[in-house]
A and B are shown apart, each in its own frame.
Chain A
Amino acid sequence: MSSAAQQEPAPLQVALAGNPNAGKTSIFNQLTGANQQVANYPGITVEKRWGNFQLGDAQVALLDLPGTYSLTPFSPEERVARDALLNDNLDVVVVVIDSTQLHRSLVLLAQMMQCGVKVVLAMNMADEAQKAGQKISLQALEKHLGCPVVETVGSKGQGIDNLSQAIAKAAASNNHPILNLDQGLGAAIDRIGSLLPAEMAPPKIGWPHACSLVTPILKNASKKRVRLRSFLSRRNKRARLCKKKRARISTSS
């Protein structure tokens, strides 16, 4: 995939995802040289913004997103992030986490890994974590997660080179892990999916996406069939994107 992307003028599509106030925009600014507003409290970025940078021979289009705790949106800006992460055809997703808040941050990482996208984990605010006395073994994390892990300090620009190398490495690899935490849930979604029209069936790209397709259908279907129909037509576009993504995954694996 990525070698094709390097030969073609089409840039690599990379997104920054993470909890609010994890430092996505700081890293965005460091990578692209942009000057988007950052602050030391959450909720600054409320829309998606593209930026470009050069990574070796490849041109990278980097997408900065509002923070989100999971792929189940709670607020409009979280919906922006969710839609971009699930529907934009991204080559790599960089999950930016606050190293001092591992417990909370790994929820989103797990969901992203279940979606089957190529994930790079950026452990941001590494200096803060060190100050707090945390010792994190990057090698051990890398081994258990199966995705590249780098330490960064977005505010000071540390680890940014390592991060871009990790992005390049992830984009070039065809072998990325898809997390499967719950066999039963996967089976249930597959069963519901088999009842949907073929182009709507949840692709094998993980339950968050499948849930986002299936659960609203169930909710709407119980109310009115008309609503279901309009819902289906609205989701058709998204389903086509899913199909594309599925094809992409099956060709790359």
Chain B
Amino acid sequence: MTLIELNIGQRATITDVLGTGPVRQRLLDMGLLPASEIIMERIAPTGAPVWIRLEAMQLALRRNEATSIIVEPLASKTEVQA
């Protein structure tokens, strides 16, 4: 599934970063690498942009950036935030 399908508070591991060119390169450069663990922090009312956290780094992503990141949700650790 893609990153944008995560629920708020859900943890996931990145399995792949799709796309080409500078945007993909930038995401990889910023540490969104396969096997990194992320948490979905917040989602805008319209469904995007989304706000994710990777260790101490917080990052807002546009819809098309978020849909280009393939993730594997960590099922057991779903926690719903207020």
CA distance A69 to B56 in the complex (A): 16
| Chain A positions 60-84 with a Cβ under 8 Å from a chain B Cβ | 69-70, 72, 74
Mark each residue of chain B from 34 to 59: 1 if its CB lies under 8 Å from any CB of chain A, else 0: 00100000000000000000111100
A74 touches B26 (CB 8 A): yes
Chain A residue numbers with a CB within 8 Å of B18 are none
Cβ-closest chain A residue relative to B23: A74
Q: A132–B29 contact, CB under 8 A?
A: no
Stretch of A96-104, A114-122, A243-251 contacting B (4+ beta carbons < 8 Å): A96-104
B30 and A69 contact, CB distance less than 8 A: yes
Kindly state whether residue B78 has any CB partner on chain A within 8 Å.
no
- Chain B residues, Cβ within 8 Å of A192: none
Question: Is chain A's interface secondary structure helix, strand, loop, or mixed overall?
Answer: helix
**Docked complex: B1-46 residues within 8 A CB-CB of A:** 22, 25-26, 28-31, 33, 36
Chain A residues contacting B22 (CB-CB under 8 Å) are 74
**Bound form: Cα–Cα A107–B54 in Å:** 14
Contact B29 A103 (CB under 8 A): no
Known interface pairs A103-B31, A104-B31, A107-B31; A69-B26 also in contact (CB < 8 Å): yes
**Distance in Å from the Cβ of B23 to the closest Cβ of chain A?**
9
- Decide if A70 touches B31 in the complex (CB within 8 Å): no
**Contacts A74-B22, A103-B36; is A69 near B55 (CB within 8 Å)?**
no
* C-alpha spacing A132/B55, complex, angstroms: 12
Which chain B residues lie closer than 8 Å to A106 at the CB level?
Answer: 31
Q: Whole-angstrom distance between the alpha carbons of A70 and B26 in the complex?
A: 8
A252 to B55, CA, bound (A): 39
Interchain residue pairs A-B with the least CB separation, the first 6: A70-B29, A104-B31, A69-B29, A103-B55, A103-B31, A100-B56
What are 10 sample pairs from A and B whose C-beta atoms fall under 8 A apart? A69-B29, A101-B57, A103-B31, A103-B56, A104-B57, A106-B31, A107-B29, A107-B30, A107-B31, A132-B56
